[in-house]
Structure 1
Amino acid sequence: MNEGNYYLAKTSLGLKRKYELSADDGSGKPGELLGYAEKQLKLSEEVVLYRDKTKNEPLARLREKADVSQFSGDGFDVVDAQGELLGSVTRDLRASLRRPTWQVEQPGLGAMVGVQRGKPTAARSMAGLVGMVADVVNPVSKRAFDFTLNDKQMFSISKVKRLDDLYLIKLDDPAVDRTLVFVASVALEMIEQR
């Protein structure tokens, strides 16, 4: 098993998106299921991460921050099953005009900033503004985000193949809360691909 390597797979079924989080099976492929979430296409951006597909045991919840304006970007709190804050996930709208940028903040650790690797194409930059273009460009974009704290690599989220909704999540620092990163990965995929 590749310690620190996980996978997020998205399946689209009509107006529903399903997300499966898995451990690495030792050969660079998804193995044991560690988390499961569903998202209906609606305005509310609340998602529950469950232990498995039975949806009997919630692990964490992603909920939209009430105080985020349309000008400051998408902002979410991540809480555990008991309602305790695990951290927050925020898209930096201003920085994202140049290159998609996210911030994942973990209490006691700090704010990790994730910037899209490489140079985005003009078509991809415009995709966030024009829905029809996004539907064509997003599925073929091979995207990757590196999250750092004080210039230290903490974790990364990378699309494995251009035409596949499979992402590799690499935890580089054991201090990073795995559940927080799992939920942040769902949020990032959900927002960046819409």
Structure 2
Amino acid sequence: MTQQMYLPTFFVRQRFAMTTNRYELYAPDAGGGQGQLYGLAEQKRFAFKEQVTFFSDDSKSRAVFGFKARRALDLNAGYDVTDESGQQIGFFRKDFGASLLRSTFHIEGPGYTGTGQERSQVVALLRRFADIPFLPIHFDFVGADGAPLLSIERQATVRDLYTVQVPDQRVDFRVAAAVAVALDALMSR
């Protein structure tokens, strides 16, 4: 059985790379800024079947978790989140129909299911129909009971920087990190 990992707040920062999408995961320091590096995520661009691998550090010598599409071409694509031994620890999928005007995702893990949606309908529409760079983007995920599971907030910066808040201790850090990276990497932000 896989041990759960919980981190109530962390940051995801996009790194520049020519042939891959790269993301660094940071725990907060005592002052609330970026502290200890928790890992590095990497997605090869133009892959036939979407997959993102998370490594323990820049050396990429140890893959610690990841997510992978269940099918190659699917508008309602589902992604399994797995630990370093390949055991499933969570699942998420984009809801294509609901996402036409406001991006919507569904998330599942041990003991919870939920839905996440862009917080602002106005920002969602601006993102789709106007070319305005660096819009702050916020997603709120709530459980079936309406209680908050996690929130992901993109800062208005040149390189993508996300603050991830996880008030529900059932949500594994690795699942929250996978969803945060997916919002950027899979939606081409």
TM-score, normalised on structure 2? 0.86
Cα distance in structure 2, aligned partners of 1:46 and 1:147:
22
Structure 1 segments of 4+ aligned residues over 6 angstroms from their partners? none
CA offset at residue 174 of structure 1? 1.2
CA offset at residue 162 of structure 1? 4.1
Structure 2 residue runs of 5 or longer lacking an equivalent are 1-6
The alpha-carbon distance between structure 1 residues 68 and 90, as it changes in their structure 2 partners (threshold 3 A), is farther
What is the RMSD computed on CA atoms of the aligned residues? 1.9
- The equivalent of 2:114 in structure 1 is 112
- The equivalent of 1:19 in structure 2 is 23
1:52 aligns with 2:57: yes
Percent same amino acid among aligned pairs? Answer: 26
Greater relative contact order: 1 or 2 (C-alpha under 8 angstroms, separation 6 or more)? 2
Letter in 2 for 1:6: F
- Number of equivalenced pairs: 180
1:62 aligns with 2:80: no
- The equivalent of 1:129 in structure 2 is none
Structure 1 residue runs of 5 or longer lacking an equivalent are 127-132
Cα distance in structure 2, aligned partners of 1:113 and 1:98:
16
The alpha-carbon distance between structure 1 residues 164 and 120, as it changes in their structure 2 partners (threshold 3 A), is farther
- 1 or 2, which has the higher helix percentage? 1
TM-score, normalised on structure 1? 0.84
The alpha-carbon distance between structure 1 residues 27 and 193, as it changes in their structure 2 partners (threshold 3 A), is farther
Letter in 2 for 1:140: F
Higher mean displacement: 158-167 or 16-25? 158-167
Letter in 2 for 1:158: E
Cα distance in structure 2, aligned partners of 1:158 and 1:57:
28
